[in-house]
Structure 1
Amino acid sequence: MQDQTFRPRRSVLYVPASNEKALAKVGSLNCDAIIFDLEDAVAPAEKAAARERLKQVFGTFQKGGAEKVIRINGLTTEWGADDLAAARACRPDAILLPKVATPRDIHDADEVLDEEDADLRIWAMIETPRAMLNLGPIAELGRDRAARLSCFVVGTNDLAKETGIAVTNDRRFLAPHLAHIVMAARAGGLDVLDGPLNDFSNATVFEDQCRQAAQMGFDGKTLIHPSQIDAANKAFAPPPEALEEARAVVATFALPENAGKGVISFNGRMVERLHLSQAERLIARAATITERQS
């Protein structure tokens, strides 16, 4: 759950499992997480070879570094069972399930896993109208550690395709649905990642979308090109001015005259202990990001 086990997920890069050149570069990238994709990015005729290639690549990884996630095909497809078996053999940090529509989709994957997979988490793609209608029950699985669910990943492309919502650069029509996903994720104690921008060469729009997503409460953004990593890392990191104020709030509460107080005066406004908790969490997250970068 997000507040208990924070891991930076500011920049989460999709890498096709069939792309040898891209796979060879992942160790040098400064993203927080990598999604090795066996689903949309891999043609049907290439899926078996992509699975074997992933097993070889994962065998070369050292512990630590970017979080490693494998997106499989849905378990109801002809590739799903083989994908899940291959993903388990790779020992990633998480398995990303596409087109999750109901809690049953999470349970079906969890039932295949056993005690040897104790550290394996499940991430869920939210990308269909059914998923949107079932967000509450799906997110509630985040409160059940046995269900393994730890993160929502928004599939904005599929969501737009399935609903007919126009995707403009400012995402004015999509924004209410994105906010709904964030709210559900927080209710379930889950992290939540914004969908990608397909026009990866448009740095201005990408920065705007990152800023918008950060303000909406997203933890990070999924990316389709390494050139987007630095902008995402910056947008979803605690702003320096916010971090400076957080440290000041903590220091003010620590003053002897404020010992035991529930509310104090800070820079001309009233600040409660809930703001102290927020400040402490922000400082801790900034420290984790700094440690990750070093």
Structure 2
Amino acid sequence: MSFTLVEPRTVRLNRSEMAVPASNQRFIDKSTQSPADIILFDLEDSVAPDEKNDARRTLIRALSEKDWEHRTLSIRVNGLDTPYMYQDIVDVIGGVGDKLDLVMIPKVGTAADVYAVDMLLTQIETACGFKKRLGIELLIETALGMKNIGEIAAASPRNESLHFGAGDYAASTRMRTVNIGGPHPDCGVLTDPNEDGLREVHWDDMWHYPVARMVVAARANGLRPVNGPFGDFSDSEGLQVYAKRSAILGCEGIWAIHPNQVKVINELFTPTEKEIDRAKRILAAMEQAQKEGKGAVALDGRMIDIVSIKQAEAMIKKVDLI
């Protein structure tokens, strides 16, 4: 193992992140009862340009007046290349920053983007006397951001999570798709003909590389990797496969864009009773092995060792957060 140890920046449950348009009062009202781990109020893509000012006022009022109980709250501000971002931070953070936990920066391209937001947050927190430091969520959705993802992830001690935005990433890299996440019927390869001249299609995952790269950059810097939404909210089966694949790649969770998705997402990113039981038995078996001076033992016909302890402990820690 490297002498450089990587510890999680902030331990926070992040299985589901429910995106809520800050311009929609009805959706905001409903989100007060959402089982999502994080509520993300969006001031960016889901809010029309002529509604930005009203959306800020609506959000400030909602954060001030409503009871959000234990919920983790975040806002997605507009991009640094827009005339809206500065006002998003000054008005919302300056007004109700003590009600929030996180700020999401969209379309992050370089570490300098993170420095800029960090500076504004620091000045506002100091001026307002806020005792709680806001964390930063980083949305990677451009070719530039993916290229610089390691530097971006390490750019601020406020950084908590990396997120992948498939739609804008596809546009930035000129991918031939208009889908937000999910498969593409033309993304695959043909096998060589068999003895009967028949060939099969092996489907590729067009999102594997960017998501895997995001996971590596996040974990190397102690951040939570979170995948973006599954766009077809009417396709429960597709959502389940998408969530399972994200979990297998190492993601902590994914976004939800419809309330009906949240329960499914939470369940799929929660270890099953079978997984929890095996993790506990691994820890018990390895504890006994260490007492006997052994480095590895067999459990259920499979070899387990010190690496198995790390995997089991990670699973138990996640369960403890739920």
TM exceeding 0.5: yes
Paired with 1:78 and 1:13, the residues of 2 have a C-alpha distance of 26
Equivalence for 1:287: 320
| Shift of residue 235, structure 1, vs aligned partner | 1.2
| Shift of residue 98, structure 1, vs aligned partner | 0.8
What is the RMSD of the two structures over their aligned residues, measured on CA atoms?
2.0
| Shift of residue 213, structure 1, vs aligned partner | 0.7
SS at match of 2:226: strand
Equivalence for 1:155: 165
| Shift of residue 117, structure 1, vs aligned partner | 6.3
Paired with 1:186 and 1:127, the residues of 2 have a C-alpha distance of 18
Equivalence for 2:239: 206
Letter of the 1:127 partner, please give it.
E
| Shift of residue 238, structure 1, vs aligned partner | 1.3
Equivalence for 1:170: 183
User: Structure 2 residue aligned with 1:42, among 38, 41, 47?
Assistant: 47
| Shift of residue 204, structure 1, vs aligned partner | 1.3
Letter of the 1:285 partner, please give it.
K
SS at match of 2:11: coil
| Shift of residue 136, structure 1, vs aligned partner | 1.4
Equivalence for 1:196: 229
Provide closer, same or farther for how the CA distance between residues 4 and 282 of structure 1 changes in structure 2, counting only shifts above 3 A.
farther
SS at match of 1:152: strand
Letter of the 1:41 partner, please give it.
S
* Larger-gyration structure (1/2): 2
Unaligned runs of 5+ in 1: 290-294
1:7-40 deviations in whole A, cap 9, x for unaligned? 2211111100000110111111111111100011
Q: With the length of structure 2 as denominator, give the TM-score of the two structures.
A: 0.83
User: Structure 2 residue aligned with 1:90, among 89, 96, 105?
Assistant: 96
Paired with 1:72 and 1:213, the residues of 2 have a C-alpha distance of 25
Q: Is the Cα contact below 8 Å between 1:150 and 1:191 reproduced in 2?
A: yes
Q: Is the Cα contact below 8 Å between 1:140 and 1:187 reproduced in 2?
A: no
Unaligned runs of 5+ in 2: 1-5, 185-204
> After the TM superposition, which residues 1-294 of structure 1 pair with which residues of structure 2 at under 5 Å, given as runs?
3=8, 5-62=10-67, 64-88=69-93, 89-91=95-97, 92-114=100-122, 115=126, 116=130, 118-141=132-155, 145=157, 148-165=158-175, 166=177, 167=179, 169-170=182-183, 172-255=205-288, 258=291, 261-289=294-322
Paired with 2:281 and 2:11, the residues of 1 have a C-alpha distance of 22
Q: Is the Cα contact below 8 Å between 1:54 and 1:90 reproduced in 2?
A: no
| Shift of residue 58, structure 1, vs aligned partner | 0.6
| Shift of residue 231, structure 1, vs aligned partner | 1.0
Provide closer, same or farther for how the CA distance between residues 5 and 275 of structure 1 changes in structure 2, counting only shifts above 3 A.
farther
Q: Is the Cα contact below 8 Å between 2:164 and 2:227 reproduced in 1?
A: yes
Letter of the 1:173 partner, please give it.
M
Paired with 1:266 and 1:121, the residues of 2 have a C-alpha distance of 41
Paired with 1:128 and 1:256, the residues of 2 have a C-alpha distance of 48
Letter of the 1:11 partner, please give it.
S
Letter of the 1:271 partner, please give it.
I
Paired with 1:270 and 1:245, the residues of 2 have a C-alpha distance of 13
SS at match of 2:231: coil
Letter of the 1:80 partner, please give it.
M
Q: Is the Cα contact below 8 Å between 2:9 and 2:223 reproduced in 1?
A: no
Q: With the length of structure 1 as denominator, give the TM-score of the two structures.
A: 0.90
1:127-168 deviations in whole A, cap 9, x for unaligned? 000001111111223xx52xx111111111111112122357
1:211-248 deviations in whole A, cap 9, x for unaligned? 11111111111111001001111111113222111010
| Shift of residue 87, structure 1, vs aligned partner | 2.9
Equivalence for 2:190: none
Letter of the 1:122 partner, please give it.
I
- Identity among equivalent positions (%) equals 32
Provide closer, same or farther for how the CA distance between residues 2 and 99 of structure 1 changes in structure 2, counting only shifts above 3 A.
farther
Provide closer, same or farther for how the CA distance between residues 51 and 259 of structure 1 changes in structure 2, counting only shifts above 3 A.
farther
Deviates more, 1:66-75 or 1:246-255: 246-255
Deviates more, 1:86-95 or 1:29-38: 86-95
Equivalence for 1:292: none
SS at match of 1:99: coil
Letter of the 2:111 partner, please give it.
P
